[in-house]
C-alpha cells in the first residue's frame, strides 16, 4: 500500500472526528446576514433529524459519516476518451480517496461507475468502504410529473452500479419543466418527493445544493427530515464564514465545491472582474512554502479546518495525489487572517447561472449580484 494512502487514511480518521465533534476553530462572522433567524427558531430546526436508514440494500456497517475530502467528477469527461474518466476515478480510490461526488448533470456517471468498480477491486475494498454522493437535476424535480424524481434516482443507481447511495442531493432549488423549459422555485415539493426515496432503502441520506438562506429556512420548516448536507461554492475568494457557521449550528454538513476557486478553466469569461488565479496568489504561495505544502493543499486544508468537506477534481495522477495530500498539510494560526483577507479583497462568486435561467439565485449571500 502506498505511503500516501496510509497517511491519508490516518488523517481522514482524525479530520472526520474533528468535523463531527465540533473541534473547528471559530469562524469569522464579518459578512453576517441579517436573516431574521432567532435562537428559538434555529433551535427548532436544529432539533430535526436525519432518519437512519437500514435495509437489505445497505450493509450493516457502511462508512459512518461523509469523509472530509472527496473526489469530484464535474467536467471529468472527454467525449473522445471517456476511459480517462474511469481511470481517474479508479486511481483516486487506489490512492486513498473514500468519497466520490457525482451528479446526473455531469453526464459521465456510467464511466464514473466503471471507475468505482475498478478502483474497489484494485484497492481490495468493498462498496461499504466508500461514500458515494449524487444529485438530482432540475428537469427531474417533478413539479409536472412527481414520478420524475424517483426515475432519475433509479437511472443514477443503474449508471453508477453501486447498489445504494450514501447521499442524494437536490442540485439546485430551481426546477425546469422538461416540456416548455420554464423554471420555478419548486424545492418544497421536490424535497417532499426526495424524502420518499428514503423509504426505498437505497439511499442513506438526502441533502441540498446551492440554496439561499431563506430557501433553506423554508425547506427545513416544511419537513421533519433535515438535510444531511448542503453543497455550495466555498473557497478563499468566497469564504462565507457566517453561512458556514449557521450550518454548523443547524447540524448540516457543508461540502465545498470549486474549493480551488478559479483554477477551474470553465469559469473564464463568466466573471466580469476575475481575481488573480488562487493557486498563483502570493499569499497562498508564501504560506505553502512556509508549511512545506503546495498552494492547492493550503486552500484545501484551510477549508477542511473550517469544517467544510472538499471535493477537488483532477484527471492527472499527480494532482489527484497532491490534493489528497492536503490531509497532511498543517496550517498555523497566523495563516488564517492572511487567507481571510483574500476573501475581503477578492470576493468573487464563480458559479451563478441565475441570469441564464431567469431567476435570482443565492439571495442574501456574498457575491450573489455578480
3-class SS of residue 281: coil
Who contacts 14 (Cβ-Cβ below 8 Å, separation ≥6)?
Answer: none
Other CB atoms within a 10 A radius of the CB of residue 54 amount to: 11
Backbone angles phi and psi of 308, in degrees to 5: -100, 145
Q: How far apart, in whole angstroms, are the C-alpha atoms of residue 306 and residue 324? A: 17
Residue 97 falls in the annotated catalytic set = no
Alpha helix ranges (H) inside the chain: 3-20, 39-46, 83-95, 109-123, 147-160, 187-197, 213-222, 241-250, 282-291, 295-305, 317-324, 335-345, 354-357
Q: How far apart, in whole angstroms, are the C-alpha atoms of residue 108 and residue 28? A: 37
3-class SS of residue 57: coil
Residues 232 and 254: beta-carbon distance below 8 Å: yes
Give me the catalytic one of 91, 97, 106, 205. 106
199 alpha-carbon distance from chain centroid: 24
Residues 169 and 229: beta-carbon distance below 8 Å: yes
Residues 244 and 220: beta-carbon distance below 8 Å: no
Residues forming the active site: 106
Amino acid at each position: 500500500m502506498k505511503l500516501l494512502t496510509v497517511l491519508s487514511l490516518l488523517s481522514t480518521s482524525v479530520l472526520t472526528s474533528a468535523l463531527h465533534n465540533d473541534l473547528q476553530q471559530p469562524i469569522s462572522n464579518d459578512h453576517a446576514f441579517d436573516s431574521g433567524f432567532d435562537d428559538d427558531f434555529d433551535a427548532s430546526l436544529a432539533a430535526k433529524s436525519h432518519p437512519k436508514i437500514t435495509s437489505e440494500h445497505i450493509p450493516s456497517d457502511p462508512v459512518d459519516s461523509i469523509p472530509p475530502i472527496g473526489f469530484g467528477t464535474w467536467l471529468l469527461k472527454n467525449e473522445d476518451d471517456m476511459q480517462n474518466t474511469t481511470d481517474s476515478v479508479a486511481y483516486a480510490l487506489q490512492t486513498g480517496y473514500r468519497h466520490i461526488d457525482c451528479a446526473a448533470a455531469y453526464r459521465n456517471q456510467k464511466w464514473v461507475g466503471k471507475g468505482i468498480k475498478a478502483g474497489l477491486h484494485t484497492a481490495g475494498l468493498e462498496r461499504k468502504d466508500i461514500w458515494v454522493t449524487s444529485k438530482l437535476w432540475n428537469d427531474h424535480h417533478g413539479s409536472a410529473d412527481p414520478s420524475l424524481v424517483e426515475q432519475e434516482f433509479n437511472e443514477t443507481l443503474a449508471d453508477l452500479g453501486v447498489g445504494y447511495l450514501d447521499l442524494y442531493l437536490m442540485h439546485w432549488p430551481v426546477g425546469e419543466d422538461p416540456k416548455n423549459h420554464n423554471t420555478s422555485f419548486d424545492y418544497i415539493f421536490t424535497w417532499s418527493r426526495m424524502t420518499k426515496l428514503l423509504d426505498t432503502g437505497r439511499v442513506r441520506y438526502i441533502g441540498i445544493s446551492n440554496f439561499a438562506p431563506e430557501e433553506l429556512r423554508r425547506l427545513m420548516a416544511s419537513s421533519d427530515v433535515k438535510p444531511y448536507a448542503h453543497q455550495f461554492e466555498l473557497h478563499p475568494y468566497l469564504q462565507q464564514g457566517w453561512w458556514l457557521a449557521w450550518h454548523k449550528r443547524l447540524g448540516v454538513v457543508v461540502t465545498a465545491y470549486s474549493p480551488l476557486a478559479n483554477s477551474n478553466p470553465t469559469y473564464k469569461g463568466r466573471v466580469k472582474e476575475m481575481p488573480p488565479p488562487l493557486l498563483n496568489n502570493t499569499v497562498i504561495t508564501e504560506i505553502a512554502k512556509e508549511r512545506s505544502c503546495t498552494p492547492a493543499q493550503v486552500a484545501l486544508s484551510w477549508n477542511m479546518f473550517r469544517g467544510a468537506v472538499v471535493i477537488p477534481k483532477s484527471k492527472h495522477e499527480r494532482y489527484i495525489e497532491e490534493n489528497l495530500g492536503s490531509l497532511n498539510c498543517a496550517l498555523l494560526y497566523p495563516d488564517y487572517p492572511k487567507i481571510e483577507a483574500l476573501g475581503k479583497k477578492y470576493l468573487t462568486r464563480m458559479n451563478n447561472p441565475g441570469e441564464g435561467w431567469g431567476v435570482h439565485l443565492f439571495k442574501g449571500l456574498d457575491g450573489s449580484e455578480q
